[in-house]
Amino acid sequence: MEKFTRVEGVAAPLPLTNVDTDMIIPKQFLKTIKRSGLGKNLFHEMRYREDGSENPEFVLNREEYRNATILIADENFGCGSSREHAPWALKDFGIRVIIAPSFADIFYNNCFQNGILPICLPKEDVAQLMQAATEKPGAVFIVDLQAQEVQAPDDSVYHFDIDPFRKHCLLEGLDDIGLTLQKLDRIEAFEKDYAERFPWL
């Protein structure tokens, strides 16, 4: 998994509550087990019209936000089913940070496993960041994981909390498999010893 340290990029405002995983990546796109290629279907029902053309009013179709790496949302982001395709689609589109007052638990955990930083901030702070992203389309925000800070275009700074273990894993680019592989020598030693002690198994 790619290491996460600092993101400088455009923040797209999505002022919607209860954005569920089916809105993030609709069920018809869940046939793949690949993590790549889902970005084009992110928020499909909001991004595209029935004839397949882009909806020009949707935020990620606006020129200023097409390359957004930060998403600012409202409460209970990622609710609904536990599909891991949701963070896959966000990551494939280019989103590395999601800022919201609250997240659904399973989605929140899945973000860390896929190199996305979900940041919980007080509702009033999120509202201020949302306003900044809306009033200054294309403006650059800075998210520093080491310092645990979000810097808005006007240089105002918002501190966020994060579990130290999750922070360590993101900084080092470690998902569950990566954590396991850190103990590969011990695993191989155990397997060798086990085979010698119980050769009939």
- The pLDDT of 50-56, averaged and rounded, is 94
- pLDDT on residue 183: 61
Domain count, the chain: 1
SS3 state at 30: coil
Residue count of the chain, please give it. Answer: 201
Burial of 49 (0-12, 13-18, 19+ CB in 10 A): exposed
Mind giving me the DSSP string for 142-178? EEETTTTEEE-TTS-EEE----HHHHHHHHHT--HHH
Of the pLDDT bands very low, low, confident and very high (cuts 50, 70, 90), residue 127 is very high
Whether 85 maps to a domain, the answer reads: yes
- pLDDT on residue 182: 61
Whether 132 maps to a domain, the answer reads: yes
Measure the CA–CA gap between 122 and 108, rounded to whole angstroms: 16
Whether 109 maps to a domain, the answer reads: yes
pLDDT, tens digit, for every residue of 65-77? 999 999 999 999 9
Greater confidence (168 vs 188) lies with 168
Q: Which two tokens stand for residue 33?
A: 């087990």
Q: Are 149 and 159 within 8 A, CB to CB? A: yes
Burial of 180 (0-12, 13-18, 19+ CB in 10 A): exposed
Q: In what order do the strands lie in the sheet with 157-159?
A: 117-120, 97-100, 70-73, 6-14, 140-144, 149-151, 157-159
- pLDDT on residue 193: 67
Of the pLDDT bands very low, low, confident and very high (cuts 50, 70, 90), residue 177 is low
Which residues, in sequence order, are bridge partners of residue 13? 72
**26-40, 115-129, 144-158: range with lowest mean pLDDT:** 26-40
Whether 1 maps to a domain, the answer reads: no
Of the pLDDT bands very low, low, confident and very high (cuts 50, 70, 90), residue 199 is confident
Among residues 19, 37, 44, 43, the alpha carbon closest in space to that of 88 is found at: 37
pLDDT, tens digit, for every residue of 8-36? 999 999 999 999 999 999 988 887 777 78
Mind giving me the DSSP string for 36-58? SS-GGGTTHHHHB-TTS-B-TTS
Kindly tell me if the per-residue pLDDT of 201 is higher than 80. Answer: no
Kindly tell me if the per-residue pLDDT of 184 is higher than 70. Answer: no
Whether 153 maps to a domain, the answer reads: yes
Greater confidence (82 vs 177) lies with 82
Among residues 82, 134, 124, the alpha carbon closest in space to that of 103 is found at: 82
- pLDDT on residue 159: 98
Provide the CATH number for the domain around residue 20.
3.20.19.10
Whether 93 maps to a domain, the answer reads: yes
- pLDDT on residue 58: 97
**43-52, 97-106, 145-154, 191-200: range with lowest mean pLDDT:** 191-200
Whether 185 maps to a domain, the answer reads: yes
Q: What is the Cβ-side half-sphere exposure of residue 143, based on CA atoms within 13 angstroms?
A: 27
Q: Domain span at residue 101?
A: 6-197
Q: Give the position of tokens 């600012």.
A: 72
